[in-house]
Amino acid sequence: MINGSLSTVIYPVNTLPAEILCKIFAFAVSSSLGNDITRTLLLITSVCQRWRQVAIADPRLWTNVGYFVRRFDRNEPDWLLRHFLSRALGHPIRLALSFAAAYSRVNVLPHHFFSSARQWMEADITGPSNEGWAFHPSDLPLASALDLPHLEKLSLDVRIHVGVPPRPMFQNAPRLRELSIRQPLHILQLSFPVYQLRKLTILHGSNTAACSHIISVLPKLIALEDLTLPSLIDDMSHESPTPFPMHRLETLALFGCSSIVLPHLSMPSVTSLQLSELSTYIALRSLDSLPGIVSVSLVGSRPSTFGVVLNTAMFTPVKHLTVDAFPMAPPNATQCATDLGTLLPNLESFTVRIPPSMTSASSRSVLRPFIDGIVMRANIARAAGVTAMKLTHFIADFAPLTVQPVLFPEDTRDLKHLQQTTNIQISMPNGYPARKRWRLQAGNSNEEHTEELIQEVNSKNPLVIG
């Protein structure tokens, strides 16, 4: 009793009720990736007896499992995995599988990995880096195909060997709605009702998918709502194709040369479009197949890509624009501000994603051209007698927990003024000062500015173990 009382004095965390500890543990696990999940769980249960008891008593904590293949004996059980699964008490699990580098010399998956298949709710299987490695469905340890009654989301970042005759992989997957896979033709080998898919991502691999393979599979995915494609091989004839309709597709992401599929598809319901730099220029030739775009996201943006999008008449209806921040020389920055200030008249929200590589070490503010463009937009609206602009939301999406901020003191001052004098809401969702919490003064030095931002980051983020 005395020891317990002293423990709460020395370690105030011990005063937290078990329910709060479980939420902290769950956040730590959900913030971990792949094999780090296992490490995090082991760390949590190694801190003290109370933490161990609380963690083991919560089966939901053990529904996130990371499996790291180290051994070469496919029949040797992984006792740690079995131990973790027993603590889940039969609940549906999220399972991530990855391989040690040495495992790339072996061509099979461990049999015991599939013993938990009936519990899978989400599964992420990433093959070894060796591109010669392939998963053989005939190597499944069961006499029949996998029974996956709870599976909702599956990522197969592996090359699948197609046998003769092909062996079906699934016997039951009634809830599967999201699928990520390298080759589109492998979707049919999974042998589940493909018409139930809502989201499909074709992953980038060394063996680039062919456009004809995509075209042959898509007509079967009649309920598809979200499609992501990597760069594709153009193996289609250049005659004018007859597009087939995809009436339910709403979100389309195109990378590399994947825009070559656009002439073959009719997508009247697509409202959200994500483009890489190369796919942007190819897509401009086929925008007639995308008449209802209201949201555009540019990945890997450059000044030229940004300018092309804003100056394209087909993008005039766009209401939501997201771009990756990009370095700009002074002439490019001026043009960027002018384009943002005068084009896309229906724009309602504008998001700038700032990656960790763009830090305050730069001599120029990354946000400055965009802030200038929004200020110009506000001045034009005010001069025209418009009391409220259509643009009402500006989001600076910094990479989470970026140590070196790219928000300069003058940026803070101008954003604060912009928010106070217009109807624009300013959001910085990843640890920087939130809207209406501008605690920095324009005169602060960069060092003071950085320190205060880091303190706010620390105050907003719960403890992450491991």
Q: How far apart are CA 160 and CA 72, in angstroms?
A: 20
Dump pLDDT digits (tens) for 200-228. Answer: 999 876 567 888 889 989 999 999 999 99
**What is the secondary structure of 279-334 as a DSSP string?**
HHHHHTTSGGG-TT--EEEEES--HHHHHHHHT-GGGTT--EEEEE-----HHHHH
Q: Tell me, what's the pLDDT at 249?
A: 95
Query: What confidence category does residue 151 fall into, taking pLDDT thresholds of 50, 70 and 90?
Result: very high
**Domains in the chain with CATH codes:** 13-141 (no CATH), 294-466 (3.80.10)
Q: Which two tokens stand for residue 398?
A: 């910094």
Q: Write the single-letter amino acid at 256.
A: G
Q: 3-state SS of the chain: helix, strand, coil percent to 5?
A: 40, 20, 45
Query: Considering the entire predicted model, what is its pTM?
Result: 0.81
Beta bridge partners of 426: 394
Distance CA 135, CA 139 (A): 8
Classify each residue of 162-176 as buried b or exposed e, where b means 16 or more C-beta atoms within 10 Å of its C-beta: eeeeeeebbebbeeb
Quote the distance between the C-alpha of residue 203 and its chain's center: 13
How large a percentage of the chain has pLDDT more than 90?
26
Q: Which residues pair with 354 in a beta bridge?
A: 398
Higher pLDDT, 72 or 19: 19
Q: Tell me the per-residue pLDDT of 357-398, one tens digit each, with 9 for 90 and over.
A: 765 445 567 888 999 999 999 889 888 887 778 999 999 888
Residue predicted with more confidence, 184 or 79: 184
Quickly state the pLDDT bin for 122 (edges 50, 70, 90).
very high
- DSSP one-letter code for 35: T
Other beta carbons within 10 Å of 67 = 24
Residue 149: pLDDT band (50, 70, 90) is: very high
Residue where the block lists tokens 């605690």: 439
Encode pLDDT of 419-452 as tens digits: 888 888 988 887 554 333 333 333 344 444 434 4
Residue type, 313: A
pLDDT above 60: residue 72: no
Query: How far apart, in whole angstroms, are the C-alpha atoms of residue 340 and residue 373?
Result: 5
pLDDT at residue 414, rounded to an integer: 84
For the chain, the residue count is 466
Q: What is the pLDDT of residue 389?
A: 82
Mean pLDDT of the chain: 78
Among the ranges given (4-13, 111-120, 297-306, 410-419), the one the predictor scored with the smallest mean pLDDT: 4-13
How large is the average pLDDT for residues 397-413? 68
